[in-house]
Structure 1
Amino acid sequence: MRISTSMVFNQGYVGIQGNQYNLTKLQEQLSAQKRVVVPSDDPVASAQMLEVSQSDGRTNQFVKNGDTVESTLAISETSLSSANDLLSNLKTLAIQAGNASLDNSQLTMIQSEVKERFQQLLSYANATDGRGNYLYGGNAIDNPPFVADSSLNVTYNGDTGRRDVQISDARQVPITEVGSAVYGDAISNTAVFDNVRDLYNLLGQNPRPATYTTQLNTIMSGLDSAQVRLSTTEASIGSRRSENETLQSVGQDLDVQYQTRLSNLDGLDLAKTISDFTLAQTALQYSQLTFQKVSGLSLFNYLS
């Protein structure tokens, strides 16, 4: 069989090119610390990795959403708790005002304190999530949901919807409340504020009206009902926080599982790859040296 010069060069070139390709591929894997650098390295594993990565991305987004939910609901729960405590304080003031021995100047002092409590209550009802979004306007988050005039008459400017945030594939939770349901009732959208306003106005009447005690009792009954509504909303928020915490924990566990799966699909055996890289370097060097020697052979070298 005749071996032409072109065959020698072609075989040598193919051998060198193959070794160079192997060396380059191993170098890419070492640089990326990955077994699958491009899909063609392992099409099946690459497709599985894409699916796992997408699932992990959704899970991580849900966990991030859960962080927002926790922060927002925690602020809302705190504001409701503070509002509830304030209503207890107002009931105490109303009981004090029921003391028949108090004179008008003492009632005026209580009235002044009631007005301060009114302003505090208004600030709780207009609480924001720390990013400027109002918590008790339903879907209307850009403007204060409750606005008071100089006579302590309050108007609700929110709507009846709630903003939902996705915390899992199958679950959304509301992070805003309908203020007219929290601070109002079936008759008035601003029932809580109406009670406080009525208390303020009653304490300013001189002389006391004949129905003074009856009106005080009605106001205190209204404050009791308001506390029930606030407590009910607070309990609902606490339940949502608990559910969100559970789903966040599940999401974090899933993330670990997804990362383990990705590592199994794309994990690089570093020791073996380094060994293969060294071997590929040696093979390339020998193939280059061999090609150099073979390509230099000639019958003229043996003629004297």
Structure 2
Amino acid sequence: MTRISTNQLYDRSIDAITRNQGSLSDVQQQLSSGKKLLRPSDDPVGAAQVVRLTEDLDKITQYKRNNTLLQNSLEQEEVVLKNINNALDRARVLMIQSGNGVYDKTDLQAIGIEIGSIRDEIFGLMNSQNSNGEYIFAGYQSQTEAFSYDPSSTDKKYTFAGDDGFKKIQVSDAVTIQSNSSGKTVFEDVQARLNINVTARVGVSSLSSRITEQAAFDQFHKQNYDAVTPANNQFRATVLAGNQIRIDNIGTGATISTQNFESGKPFVFKGISFDVNAAPGDTFDFELNKPEKKNIAETLNDFFIALNDASLSDTDFSKAIADGLVGLDNGAKKLANATSSLGGRLNVAQSVLESNLDLEIANKSARSVIEDVDYAEAVSELSKQETALQAAQATFSRVTGLTLFDYIR
């Protein structure tokens, strides 16, 4: 038989009371905090899961902020592109109006005033800034203007000063989305109207040309232009007996076409209308111009100059209108592509946001199962711990009263 001393009785009773008080205190803390994990030792595995889930929820919160910033940036850019497109539509109407033969120089100068205003408006929009003062279309060079204006330049007055970079924003663990567009892609890399240079040679008494079918000529130009060998861009037309004309490539020597010809009447070759007075054996040359790119502000500025040039011939003015219309049409295509890209990115951003919201709910639910207290269970546990503490206290008073001296009394 094991002998239990009085000190042992006191120690055991005090230990039981203390443990019951600790358990009761834990239940009270769970009820007051709403958390059943008060310390990692309560559930080491569950505590580790809570840490991971909390980290994931913090990331999702940041991704949601990123997504909001991204959508704001894309929506602002979309508004700018829409305003530019509206301005181009008005400029196109004015260009077509200026080709009306009843307009005199004064009327054209009046149109020029509005074209100049539209040019300035578009130039300002191309240098739009976001809420942080960054230039939207400047690429990585967002602290400097995307486009600059040099009135003294004899070549191009409106030039791109940024780069073709673009920023990306991470909106989930696996998805990053482009947050801006480079002005080089949207505005600068706009194809100018393709054209030719014509030179009369042997025996030709009169010669004029104009592009009447731009699409057909553009296709011919793209298929035949040689950026490496300039001679391959030169062609020679030779009038043949029997009312025919032959067109050869000077560089390669290949015959491109042989077709009907009548002196003094226009004939069309690959979208180019030639009006020639010539006899058999006469020749003339034409050369494919080098493709050029011109931003829409520069295109409008060129047309503005043409409208205000009183010495410009009708032929040259018609060419200026054709150049302007093709430049604006090509610019509008670039704007349409950029707007389509924006719409796609906005759709992806919205889809990722919805996915993040669903994931946030799932993670919060999983974390709640692990760490949040079940109040019904905790209240029952509180009652049980109170009863246990009361029993331990009552037992302590009974046990400590069982001494030999009490028995003798």
Aligned residue number for residue 300 of structure 1: 405
Q: Deviations over 1:88-126 (max 9, x none)?
A: 111111112222322333222211111211121122212
1:143 maps onto 2:144 in alignment: yes
1:146 maps to a residue whose letter is F
1:126 maps onto 2:127 in alignment: yes
Question: 1:134-283, aligned counterparts within 5 Å?
Answer: 134-150=135-151, 153-185=157-189, 191-210=295-314, 211-283=316-388
Shift of residue 279 of structure 1? 2.4
Structure 2 length as normaliser, TM-score?
0.70
Shift of residue 190 of structure 1? 5.3
Contact 2:141 2:162 in 1 (8 A): yes
Give distance in 1, aligned partners of 2:11 and 2:322.
106
2:129 maps to a residue whose letter is T
Give distance in 1, aligned partners of 2:360 and 2:337.
35
Aligned residue number for residue 396 of structure 2: 291
Contact 2:77 2:136 in 1 (8 A): yes
2:185 maps to a residue whose letter is A
Aligned residue number for residue 40 of structure 2: 39
Structure 1 length as normaliser, TM-score?
0.92
Give distance in 1, aligned partners of 2:165 and 2:294.
17
Shift of residue 255 of structure 1? 1.0
Shift of residue 50 of structure 1? 2.0
Shift of residue 188 of structure 1? 6.6
2:363 maps to a residue whose letter is Y
Contact 1:156 1:189 in 2 (8 A): no
Q: Deviations over 1:231-267 (max 9, x none)?
A: 1111111111111111111111111111111122223
Give distance in 2, aligned partners of 1:160 and 1:300.
99
Shift of residue 280 of structure 1? 1.5
Contact 1:156 1:190 in 2 (8 A): no
Shift of residue 197 of structure 1? 0.7
Shift of residue 296 of structure 1? 4.5
Aligned residue number for residue 108 of structure 1: 109
1:267 maps to a residue whose letter is D
Moved more, 259-268 or 233-242: 259-268
Structure 1 unpaired stretches of 5+: none
Give distance in 1, aligned partners of 2:119 and 2:42.
69
> How many equivalent pairs are there?
304
Aligned residue number for residue 86 of structure 1: 87
Contact 1:164 1:172 in 2 (8 A): yes
Give distance in 1, aligned partners of 2:294 and 2:132.
25
Structure 2 unpaired stretches of 5+: 192-290
Contact 2:160 2:188 in 1 (8 A): no
Q: Deviations over 1:166-210 (max 9, x none)?
A: 122222111111111111126777521110110111111123334
Give distance in 2, aligned partners of 1:281 and 1:126.
73
Give distance in 1, aligned partners of 2:102 and 2:389.
107
Q: RMSD over aligned Cα, in angstroms?
A: 2.0
Shift of residue 129 of structure 1? 2.9
From the two aligned structures, give the one with the greater strand fraction. Answer: 2
Contact 2:160 2:184 in 1 (8 A): yes
Give distance in 2, aligned partners of 1:190 and 1:17.
86
Higher relative contact order by CA 8 Å / sep ≥ 6: 1 or 2?
1
